[in-house]
Structure 1
Amino acid sequence: MMPEIAVDDDVKVYYTEHGSGPAVLLLHGWSCDGTDWSWLAADLADDHRVIVVDQRGHGGSSPTAGPFGARILAEDAAAVLRGLGIERAIVIGHSMGTIVASALAVEHPDIVSALVLADPVYGQPDEVLEPVVAALRAQPLEVALQLFEGFYVSESPAWQRLWHERRLRSTPENVIRDAFCALYSGPDGIGLASVGQDYLRGRKCPVLAVYSGTGTAVPEWDRALPHRDEDEILVWKDNGHFLHQERPEQFAALTRRWLDDLATTDSPAVPAGVRA
C-alpha cells in the first residue's frame, strides 16, 4: 500500500519517509510533487527523519476538488506530522511550499522549529498577480505553461524543463487553477503583499530564505518583516526558480550550515546533532 494519511474525509496525502533523527518536512511547489526534493531528501536522510509529502491534489495524493488555501494546506501538513507522531519539525518549502510552510509556522508555532524557504513567492505585488489570476481561471494549463517558462534562466538544464512540462500537463486543471488562485486572491490570499505583510509577522521561528534571479517577489520586502538574529535572506541571482534542483549540492550545504549554526547557538529552535 502507498503510505498516505487521511487529512479529512475526502483527501489522503501521500508521503514517503527517509532516515532517522530530527524531523524535517519537505513541501513542494505549485503543480509539482515531492520528487522535486529527491536530492535534498537523500542528503538530509543521513541524519534526519525526512518526510516528503505530495500536497493535496498533487502527485500521489488523492484527486480533490479542493479547497486549496495556504492555511488548508498547512493543516494538511500538520495532520501528516501528527499522524506520524512528530511533535516538532524543521520545515523546508519551495515556491507554493514557502507560503504553506510560513502558514504552518504562523498557525502552529509549537510544531515548526525553523523554516528553510527556496525562492519564496509571498510578497507578490497585487497589481502584478491580479491579471495572472484572471488568466489562469480562464485557461489554466496554457497560462501555467507560460508562467513556467519564466521560472528558468538560460543555464537551466533542458531535462528540467522537459520534466516539469510533462508533469504540469498531467496535473488536473482544477489543481493548476485553484491552488494558484487561492494563494493570490481573496482574504486568504496571503501570497499577496497586501494580505501577507501582517500575516507573516506571525512567524516566530528562525528563517533561511534563498531567492533566485527570477520572479517578482523581492528580498527587500522579506527583509522588512520582523526577523531574528539567526535569520538569513540570500539571493542566488544567476539561478532559476528551481534553485534547489539547479544547485542541489550547494543548496544542501547551505541548509546544513545554517541548521548547524542554529544548533550551536543558545536558541532551542533546532535540536542538536545536525551535521555541518
Structure 2
Amino acid sequence: MEQKTQPDETEKTISRPGCDVHYWVSGNSSKPLIILIHGACADHRQFDMQIPCLIQDYQIVRVDVRGHGLSRPLAGPFSVPDAVEDIVSILKETGRNNAIFLGQSNGTYIIQELEFRHPGMVRAMIIVDGTYIFQKLSRAEKLLLKLTPAIMSLYPYGSLIKSMADGSAVKESTRAYLRETFGRLSKAEIINIMSGVSGCVHPEPGYRTGCPLLLIRGEHDKLGNIKAAMKEWSLREPRSKYVVIPDAGHCSNQDNPEQFNAMMMEFLKGLPELVSYSR
C-alpha cells in the first residue's frame, strides 16, 4: 500500500506481527540511506526539522514505530526486539543491505539492539538523548526502571501527558508537539510502550559498537541516567564523538535544530563509508 503524503514523500505500510507499520520514504534512491527512528510515544514528525538538511544527499526513511502514530493499534505488548525486526523488514523492502541510523531516546535503543542482533546492517549511528542499553545498572537504577510504568499509571491522564512533555523539552513549540502526539495515545498505550522500553536494558560486558557513533545530548536533559551514561559510553567507543547541544533538553534535535543539524551534517560528511556505500 502506498500513498503520497507530500510532494517529496511517499507513505508505505508493511504488515508485521501485531500491527501494520507505517513509514515514509523521500530523497534520492541512488544516495546513501538514512533511517530515522523517533522516541517513545512520539511519531515520525519528530524529525521534521532534519529533513531539509538530508533531502539532497540521502534517501530518507522515517518510521512510526509499532504502537505509535499510525502504526496502531498494536495487538499485544510493545517490545524493542519486535521493533527491531520491523526495521529489518523495512530495510529489506528498500532493497538495501545497510543504512545510517538516527534515533532519539527509545529510537536509540532500537538502533542499538539492531546493531547488536544484526551486525553490518548499521553503517553509522547518531544517538540523540539515549542511554546505553548494554550497561550494568546499579540496584537503584534497576528498581527505578522496573517501577517507572507503575509510577506513571498513578498519574491522572492529563497530568501524565503534561509531565512527560515538560520533562522532555525546554522549548514550548517542542512541548506542544509532544503534548499533541502523546495525547493521541491512550493511557494504556503509553504504559504498554513504557513497559517495553523499561525492559530493554541487558548488560553485555565487553561489547563494543562496530560502527562510527555520534552521541548527542541536550544540555538540560535530566531524564534517567542519560547524562552519565552517554559520557561513559563515549569513553568506551574509540570511533565515537560526544556532543552536548546548548539550550536543549531531551529532544535536542527539536529544541535546538540549528546546532543539532550542524553537528549531524558534520558527522555525516566525515563518514568514510559513504565513499563505498554498499546496497
TM-score by length of 2: 0.82
| CA separation of 1:9 and 1:96: change in aligned 2, threshold 3 A | closer
**Preserved CA contact (<8 Å) 2:40 2:107:** yes
1:165 aligns with 2:173: no
Could you tell me which runs of 5 or more consecutive residues in structure 1 were left unpaired when the two chains were aligned: 264-269
The residue identity in structure 2 corresponding to 1:129 is L
Other-structure match for 2:8: none
Other-structure match for 1:146: 163
| CA separation of 1:147 and 1:232: change in aligned 2, threshold 3 A | same
Write the mapping of 1:14-163 to structure 2, written as runs, cut at 5 A. Answer: 14-20=22-28, 21-122=31-132, 125-139=141-155, 141=157, 142-153=159-170, 156=171, 158-163=172-177
The residue identity in structure 1 corresponding to 2:217 is Y
- Comparing 47-56 with 199-208, greater Cα deviation is found at 199-208
Other-structure match for 2:238: 229
Q: Which has the higher strand share?
A: 2
For 1:200 and 1:117, how far apart are their aligned partners in 2?
A: 20
**Preserved CA contact (<8 Å) 1:5 1:83:** no
For 2:228 and 2:183, how far apart are their aligned partners in 1?
A: 34
Other-structure match for 1:266: none
- Comparing 81-90 with 214-223, greater Cα deviation is found at 214-223
Deviation at 1:223, TM superposition (A): 4.3
Other-structure match for 1:4: 12
For 2:88 and 2:40, how far apart are their aligned partners in 1?
A: 19
- Comparing 64-73 with 79-88, greater Cα deviation is found at 64-73
Give secondary structure in 1 for the equivalent of 2:254.
Answer: helix
Aligned residues: 257
For 1:228 and 1:259, how far apart are their aligned partners in 2?
A: 18
1:137-190, Cα deviation, whole Å (9 max, x unpaired): 45584434323221233xx1x2322222122111133331111111213xxx31
Deviation at 1:42, TM superposition (A): 2.3
- Comparing 28-37 with 247-256, greater Cα deviation is found at 247-256
For 1:162 and 1:63, how far apart are their aligned partners in 2?
A: 24
| CA separation of 1:133 and 1:162: change in aligned 2, threshold 3 A | same
**Preserved CA contact (<8 Å) 1:13 1:54:** yes
**Preserved CA contact (<8 Å) 1:219 1:233:** no
- Comparing 229-238 with 110-119, greater Cα deviation is found at 229-238
Identity, % of aligned positions? 24
1:205 aligns with 2:214: no
Give secondary structure in 1 for the equivalent of 2:270.
Answer: helix
| CA separation of 1:17 and 1:204: change in aligned 2, threshold 3 A | same
Other-structure match for 1:271: 274
Aligned equivalent of 2:196, options 182, 199, 210: 182
- Comparing 218-227 with 144-153, greater Cα deviation is found at 218-227
The residue identity in structure 2 corresponding to 1:87 is N
Deviation at 1:25, TM superposition (A): 0.2
